[in-house]
Structure 1
Amino acid sequence: MELGDLLQQAQCFTNDTRMDEDMPRVDRTISQVLQATQELHSRVTLTGTHDLKAHMLLGSKGVDLPKLSHKLETLSARKTFEPLDPVSDTDVHAFLKNERENAILSVIDETNRGIFESVERHKWRRIYAEWGEEKESLLNALIGPKQNEFPDVRRQTVLTTLAETPMPSSRLNRTEELYAQEIASYNQSQIQRGHRSNLLAAFANLAAEKFDNQLVSEMWSVLQFMADNAPPSRTADAIKSRLATQKFVQQARTYLERRYKQYINTVIMENPLQAQRGGIPNVYSSVNSFVSINFAVPATLVGLLDVYNGLPLWALVYYSLRCGDLGAAVRYLKETGVCYDLYRLLSMMKEGTKGEQYSRIEGALKLEYNSKLRSCSDPYKKAVFAYVLACDPHNSHAELMRSIDDFLWMQLSILRQQDGREYNVEQLTYSGLQSLILEKYGENYFNAREKAPLYFSVLVLTGQFESAIEFLARTEDNRPHAVHMAIALNEIHMLGTPSSMHHPLISVNPEDPAPMKRLNLVRMLVTYAKCFEITNTSEALQYYFLLRHFKDDNGRSLMLSCVCDLLVENCDQQMIDLIFGNEDDDSGQTGIFAQFHTMDFDKYMLAGMVGDELTYRSNFETAIWLYFIGGQLDKVMRLVCSLLSQVVHQPPTESSMRTRLRQIIIHLEDLRSVQRVDVEPHVLATYTMLTQLLVFFDHYHKNESQQASEVLANFRITPNDCSEVEECVANLKSLCPEVTKVLPDILLAAMDLIYEEYTKIKENGGSRSSFDSRESTQTDDWKNENKEGILRHLRTKAKALTNMAVTVAYRMPTATNKRLVQLEILMH
């Protein structure tokens, strides 16, 4: 074929493959196709089949391998891990870039070094552990079967014999034991002498003398100082009485001022040469010496106004006020003659005289402060005016507030009562300060997790006892202190408690002003005592005694409820003897509860409560012994009837409930002989019937037919003939249902006795029946009646038992009816 023909045929094929689509058409000549083929062949032969397969694999996933290879070639690790090139000092951008990269490199290097060291430590630890195991195995292999022959082996004898009466170890640490001893002493003083000692002072002395913790001692000290103002009435609400008076504000200021005087004296003693203290030892001279030390350098006087004898006047006045001595401040102002109006106002504040003249001078000074002193360069002068005028609460006086005490003292000094506020001037109230400390600043501001005593003191000084104690109770170490602080405050009626013991530990009463909260002392104390009530029962009862005036939901003393719960949850004989004492013990020792004798409750009331709770929980046997202790024999009789009806028909076995009930009945009968029991007649009749049935079944199971028949005949519970069925059914109705429950077993036992007697007479030809004991008045002709008459009489009794089983208002078990009918039929 010629080339022209090939060209024409190729054009035809091209026209056939042309499609009506928007895709661009690629035209290649034969030479271009040949060139592309050669390039592809050379590429495949040079790179090999592996690169081809890689191209095909990555291409199927949408990856352009040539482009990816180009990107990888452009990557360089030189700028990341190689030393940086130095830059000139004037190139700030390069300098910052180098610093940033140096910081990154240092972190990477430090991390690598830490990882390497950690791996090294773990490696050697593992090596040493494996060496130790290998040495141990080698030594064990050397011992062999005869360990006595192994040389130089020291053996330590371990005591494995337990004590005769092992006791659990105490759950109280030293601090908790000291607190518990103080609580016991306090309770005994109330029980024996009838007066309350100062528990708060006792705890504060204990913390100062016995605890090796200065911070705990300081917490008790500030609480004792603030609680020195007892409420006017013990029936008044603690929260309302605390907020209704300014005594707590003044008390907090006095505490902070005393601490600052101690600080000033400490600084003076450490710098005696600079202080040059002399004259009368009072606040005036102490402040003069203290200011001399702080402003010994002339440069410290820059910006301060009214320098007096080389010392800043307003610093002298401020520190006099900071120490709580208005007289010293008035004296400084009088000596210098500066600001006569302020001198007169301070003099009136010292004398406590307020009136129209006081208000006029105060108003003039406020105008002066707002117009001039807000921009004053002397921070001491601004602080003095803010103190005297009780204004400008938003000025933090940052130059002078060197501690939390300084800040709190200033805030307490500028407080105004709610009813004495001037609503055209922005002023701070007591509730506002409390909200500022508790809510605005809060625990994070004071770093309360690490400085718990500091935050506690701030809350106490602002009158928020409940929030302070709740915060302290969150940590395990401070919880004992918090619990006893709450106890001490409650004993002097200064703790705000909720109306219900079911409230959470800290709660808010809508009637209380914000942000005051109430602390659930009951929940806190019970939770605390629950931890050691098993191992330290006596100490736990001492704490529960503090709750005797609280009432539970049923109106009972909360102390009785707590002890009742303790006994119900751990009601064994050892715990009962520990609480109530053992009556059979000749040593004369009484139980723990005997020392809490009051007119409101005694051990008999407690024993009855525990017995009722155990009865409710179906622990009847233990409840019976509690009722014995409580002297409630009527309840004992009821429970005995209930239990005896369940087991009276069973054969006697050792350690069974039936055997234990026999011991209870013997003890009950002994008490009935010396104590009158007030119980309903039908309960007494039921008890008497069941105790006799106990005797009946004892004879029945011992095959003593004669004695069993006599016991059954004496109580007329089963009929002798069909005419007595209605009488026996009427007797059952006068008794409690407990006897009716035993009736199927009674009828079966009676039928077995009749059938046994019937079989014996029929086989042996006897002439006397054991069921004839009630007919002792019959004539001798009846006793000598022939055999057929006796058998007929026994069949009549059996028929009467069957009739009674279907007559009595009790659904007999099917097996019982079947057995009764079967035995009756066997007698015919």
Structure 2
Amino acid sequence: MPIIPALKIPDTKAGQYFPSAGLMPKTSLSMWQVRFAETVNNYIERKASGGLGIKLIDLFSKTVENEISEKFKDLWQQVRYMVDCDVSLRSKSIRQSQKFKVSSIIHALKYLEKQFVRHLQMVVYGNLEQGKLGGVPGMLNLVTAYLNIKLPLGYSGQEDGLFQNHPVWSVIYHCLRAGDFNAARNICSGYESESVVEFGQAIGELLSSNSNKLTGDMETKFHLLWRTVGRSSLDPYKKAAFCVISLCDSISDHSEIADKFEDWLWIRLRQCLLTECVGENVTPSCTTIKTFGLLDSRVKFPLERLQRQIVLDYGEKHFASGDSPMLYWTALWLSGQFEAAMDYLFRQQEVTRHPESDAYDCHAVHIALALHENGLLLTPVDPNAKILTLEGSDSPLSYRLNLARMLISYVSTFQQSDTRDALNYIYFLKSFQTIDGENLCFVAIRDILLETKEHSLLLGRIDAKGSKLRGLLDETKYNINVDELVRYIALDAEKRNSVEIAVAMFDLAEDHTKVLKLLADCLCEVANQKSLPNSKRERYLTLATSIATRYRDSGHKSDEATAITFFQLMDITTFFDLFHENDYGSALDVMRRIRLLPLTVDEVDTFVKQFYMVPDEVRRILPDILLICMCILSAQHKEIRGDRSLFASSAIIDESAKSIQQVAKALVQYAALIPYRMPGDTAARLVQMETFIH
């Protein structure tokens, strides 16, 4: 198959829209991404407000309408032609149906025919003097003017005479190629050549039957005509004309006249249409023709054969045209390989260095969304599958597009800078589930939240007065069960040990017991550490302090035991802070107030009996508390013994030292008697420090 660049109108970047400098938002989105993001937001809002009959494909097409560059306008025209199939065909299995297959071929042919008419007009209107366009406007005059420019001297092998100074079969073929079968029939009517007249009769039958193929006796007669005068003809236009009217010869690609990609594809699609129509409804006449050996495998050209030819026989490299991926895209798209076409366009960001590679990526995503909303996108069951994948029961070229993975990949580049826009795209995942049955929309929102840490922006927060402040996802347009989502993210964050997020989510869910339990575990982990700027301890303590203040002032719904443990750990954290600040007296005052440890020998038995009431979270740091208390006592004892000038007499000094020794003794006895095994050498160190104090 000869492949030359597709027919194009010169491209230009002039007139592209850029917001004025004063209005430029802080965004990482490209121009195309901004345009489509606005359209997506508009679509979601209109659907939420009850807008009926809104089609995403229509909105996206309007987004591209004012674009100067013809490339993307043509791209979306192709999409429109192929997506706008008969709505009566819609069902879950529509893509695998024979009716949709035939409908898609017809729409692809209409697009190619419209583009060819456009090409004729450009050539003729660009060469009016040579084309000599005149007379009544219509296809015949346009075609003859075009041939005046392109085939002024005819061609080798022409047969059956001339029509308006041009070989008749070249005029007939170009009318067929432009989709005007009536014009081709009018040429044949009353023509002196019998084969031309009979050809015109076949076109008339084709038009009147409205079945896209010849039927009954006319089909039999036409194939006999082909065997008599068509197959042996040296006129390339005559042979091509026969082969696009009925199934005659699928071996030849008619490269003598189909030297452009669009022409080759149009001829092949005509043959596909004739084959698929026969496959859709085999009539008795077809059986008759089979007896002549005219519909054997040598003649048929099903759509799958064209698809294999494009993907396997030729492949991506064969269709490469400079830096533009549009040629291969067109081959895939118009042959009904939608998923492969979108994957190919999406991959251009990775496989090319073309300056518009990001635009291709962007357009591919939105084409996929349009198909999905129209119920025409084939998707895999597993959202972890590759973007282009096959499932076990699929035929070799029946690819599926993993829209979920494509969308998540697409929004990952801007979900931090343009979180609201990212959420709009994630909205389309509401109908998808993971293989474990999880809502994929929830999963994607969770991942965005974990990466951006913007849980307040997305889901809201509780202010200092205990009131709920709404987040982006509370907007009614999303129609998401936010309470269910909050609970899902809270449980997931807890599993991942993302404490700050888990606390915020359980707080939103009003599960105050869970909030305080998580914070208690956090305080237990960091309480004995010295607070440093931006440290985990500082983050945990800041969060715990804000929660403690709000719950104290506004009330909470936590169970009493959990609340007592949490507030006790807050006091213990304060105790450690005072120690690190060398404020030993205040630190011991905190310990006296919370009554965690016996500070006299007389209290030891009572505290040992009450040890079962000490929460596990406090027990885990009890050895550190005992050691720090002993360090404080040692420091105080050393200070008293070392600076007698501060005291009135040695009796007072001795009394103070004795008091410290009694506290130290009480702590050592308590540590020895409680039913708790101290880690490492804690007990030995306590005894040693008490000895130094004595």
Query: Which TM class, normalised by the smaller chain length?
Result: 0.7 to 0.9
Task: Report which structure shows greater RCO (CA 8 Å, sep ≥6).
Answer: 2
One-letter amino acid matched to 2:428: L
CA separation of 1:827 and 1:255: change in aligned 2, threshold 3 A: closer
| C-alpha spacing 1:277/1:740, structure 2 compared with 1 (3 Å) | same
TM-score when scaled to structure 2? 0.75
Secondary structure of the corresponding residue to residue 221 of structure 1: helix
Question: Residues 189 and 229 from structure 1, CA distance in 2 versus in 1: closer, same or farther, beyond 3 angstroms?
Answer: same
Deviations 1:311-357 (A, max 9, x none): 54434433332232333333333323734654544333212278999
State the partner residue of 1:207.
64
Deviation at 1:740, TM superposition (A): 1.2
- The Cα of 1:738 is off from its aligned counterpart by 0.9
> What's the counterpart of residue 458 of structure 1?
331
Q: CA deviation at 1:204?
A: 3.0
Distance 1:702 1:198 in 2: 72
Amino acid at match of 1:228: D
Corresponding residue for 1:74?
none
**Residues 1:262 and 2:118 are matched in the alignment:** yes
Equivalent of residue 227 in structure 1, options 61, 67, 83: 83
| Alignment partner, residue 197 of structure 1 | 54
Greater CA deviation, 811-820 or 706-715? 706-715
TM-score (norm 1): 0.64
Equivalent residue in structure 2 for 1:336, among 180, 191, 216: 191
Conserved? CA contact 1:275–1:293, under 8 Å = no
Aligned to 2:481: 601
CA distance in 1, matches of 2:152, 2:587: 117
For residues 727-784 of structure 1, what are the alpha-carbon distances to aligned partners after superposition, in whole Å with 9 as ceiling and x for unaligned?
A: 323323xx3x212112224445677899989x99x97579999xxxxxxxxxxxxxxx
Higher Cα radius of gyration: 1
2:381 equivalent to 1:499: yes
Residue 253 of structure 1 deviates from its aligned partner by 1.1
Aligned residue among 427, 440, 455 for 2:313: 440
Say if 1:610 and 1:626, in contact at 8 Å, map to a contact too. Answer: yes
Q: Which moved more, 1:671-680 or 1:413-422?
A: 671-680
Q: CA deviation at 1:216?
A: 2.3
Is the alpha carbon distance of 1:705 and 1:168 closer, same or farther for their aligned partners in structure 2, counting shifts above 3 Å? Answer: same
Tell me the CA shift for residue 721 of structure 1: 5.4
User: In the alignment, what sits opposite 2:419?
Assistant: 537
**CA–CA distance in structure 1, aligned partners of residues 480 and 256 of structure 2:** 61
C-alpha distance in 2, partners of 1:652/1:434? 67
Structure 1's 266 and 685: CA in aligned 2 closer, same or farther, altered over 3 A?
A: closer
| Residue 176 of structure 2 corresponds to residue 321 of structure 1 | yes
Do the aligned residues in 1 keep the contact of 2:523 with 2:540 (CA within 8 Å)?
yes
Q: Does 1:184 align with 2:57?
A: no
Deviates more, 1:646-655 or 1:306-315: 646-655
Alignment of 1:738-817 (within 5 A): 738-748=617-627, 764=651, 802=668, 804-817=670-683
Task: Give the 5 Å matches for 1:107-122.
Answer: none
Match of 2:17 in 1: none
Determine whether 1:686 maps to 2:557: no
Could you say what the CA RMSD is over the residues aligned between the two structures, in angstroms?
A: 4.6
Residues 809 and 368 (structure 1), Cα distance of their counterparts in 2 relative to 1, 3 Å cut: farther
Q: Deviations along 1:369-397, whole A, 9 cap, x unmatched?
A: 23542111233332232222222111222
- The Cα of 1:484 is off from its aligned counterpart by 2.7
Change (3 A) 1:329 1:824: closer
Amino acid at match of 2:236: P
Within the candidate set 523, 542, 545, 1:644 is matched to 523
Distance 2:540 2:339 in 1: 53
Correspondence 1:542-691 to 2 at 5 A: 542-552=424-434, 555-571=437-453, 575=454, 578-579=457-458, 592-595=472-475, 598-602=478-482, 612=491, 614-621=493-500, 623-625=502-504, 627-629=506-508, 631-648=510-527, 663-672=542-551, 677=556, 679=558, 682-691=561-570
Look up the match of 1:102.
none
Offset of residue 295 of structure 1: 6.5
Asked whether the 8 Å contact 1:304–1:378 carries over to 2, the reply is: yes
Matched, 1:731 2:586: no
SS at match of 1:414: helix
Q: 1:357 to 1:404 in 2, by over 3 A?
A: closer
AA aligned to 2:516 is M
Residue in structure 2 matching 1:469, options 315, 326, 342: 342
Whole-Å Cα distance in 2 between the matches of residues 292 and 225 of structure 1? Answer: 31
* TM alignment of 1:128-277, pairs within 5 A: 170-193=27-50, 195=52, 197-210=54-67, 212-229=68-85, 236-237=92-93, 239-241=95-97, 244-269=100-125, 270-271=127-128, 275=132, 277=134
CA distance in 1, matches of 2:584, 2:422: 51
Note closer, same or farther for the CA distance 1:192–1:676 as it changes in structure 2 (3 Å cut). Answer: farther
Query: What's the offset of the Cα at 1:467?
Result: 1.9
Compared with structure 1, are the counterparts of its residues 718 and 335 closer, same or farther at alpha carbon in structure 2 (3 Å cutoff)?
Answer: farther
Cα distance in structure 2, aligned partners of 1:463 and 1:241 = 12
Q: Distance in 2 between matches of 1:702 and 1:646?
A: 22
Partner Cα separation in structure 1 for residue 212 and residue 370 of structure 2: 41
1:85 aligned residue? none
Distance 1:474 1:584, change over 3 A: same
Q: Does 1:412 align with 2:269?
A: yes
Aligned to 2:227: 370
Q: Structure 1: give runs of 5+ residues left out of the alignment.
A: 1-166, 770-786
Q: Deviations over 1:390-446 (max 9, x none)?
A: 221112223321422221111111221245596635210011111112221223333
Q: Which moved more, 1:692-701 or 1:186-195?
A: 692-701
- Aligned residue among 211, 216, 232 for 1:359: 216
Alpha-carbon deviation of 1:577? 5.6
Question: Contact 2:206/2:214 (CA < 8 Å) preserved in 1?
Answer: no
Q: CA–CA distance in 2 between the matches of 1:355 and 1:447?
A: 33
Deviation at 1:810, TM superposition (A): 2.9
Give the secondary structure class of the aligned counterpart of 1:533.
Answer: coil
Q: In the TM superposition, what is the alpha-carbon distance from 1:696 to its structure 2 partner?
A: 6.3
In 2, are the aligned partners of 1:374 and 1:382 still within 8 Å (CA)?
yes
Structure 2: gaps (5+ residues):
1-23, 350-355, 642-648
Q: Secondary structure at the match of 1:336?
A: coil
Alpha-carbon shift at residue 362 of structure 1 (Å): 1.8
Change (3 A) 1:271 1:206: same
Q: CA deviation at 1:226?
A: 1.7
The alignment status of 1:818 with 2:678, answered yes or no, reads no
CA distance in 2, matches of 1:301, 1:582: 81
| 2:402 aligned residue (520, 523, 526) | 520
Give the direction of change, closer, same or farther, for the CA distance of 1:744–1:328 in structure 2 (3 Å limit). Answer: same
Q: Does 1:480 align with 2:337?
A: no
Amino acid across the alignment from 1:441:
Y
The CA deviation at 1:507 is 1.9
| Separation in structure 2 between the aligned mates of residue 806 and residue 341 of structure 1, nearest angstrom | 114
Query: Residues of 2 paired with 1:655 and 1:309: CA distance?
Result: 87
CA contact (8 A) 2:531 2:538 kept: yes
Which residue of structure 2 lines up, in the alignment, with residue 97 of structure 1?
none
1:303 and 2:158 matched: yes
Percent identity, aligned pairs only, is: 24
2:457 and 2:471 in contact (8 A); partners too: yes
Query: For residue 600 of structure 1, what is the amino acid of its counterpart?
Result: I
Q: Look up the equivalent residue of 1:388 and give its one-letter code.
A: I
CA distance in 1, matches of 2:53, 2:386: 29
Provide the rounded CA distance (Å) in 1 between the counterparts of 2:171 and 2:534.
89
- Residue 703 of structure 1 aligns to a residue whose secondary structure is helix
* Distance in 2 (alpha carbons) for counterparts of 1:357 and 1:174: 50
Sort the Cα spacing of 1:706 and 1:639 in 2 relative to 1 into closer, same or farther, 3 A: closer
**Letter aligned with residue 238 of structure 2:** K
Between the aligned partners of 1:309 and 1:751, the Cα distance in structure 2 is 115
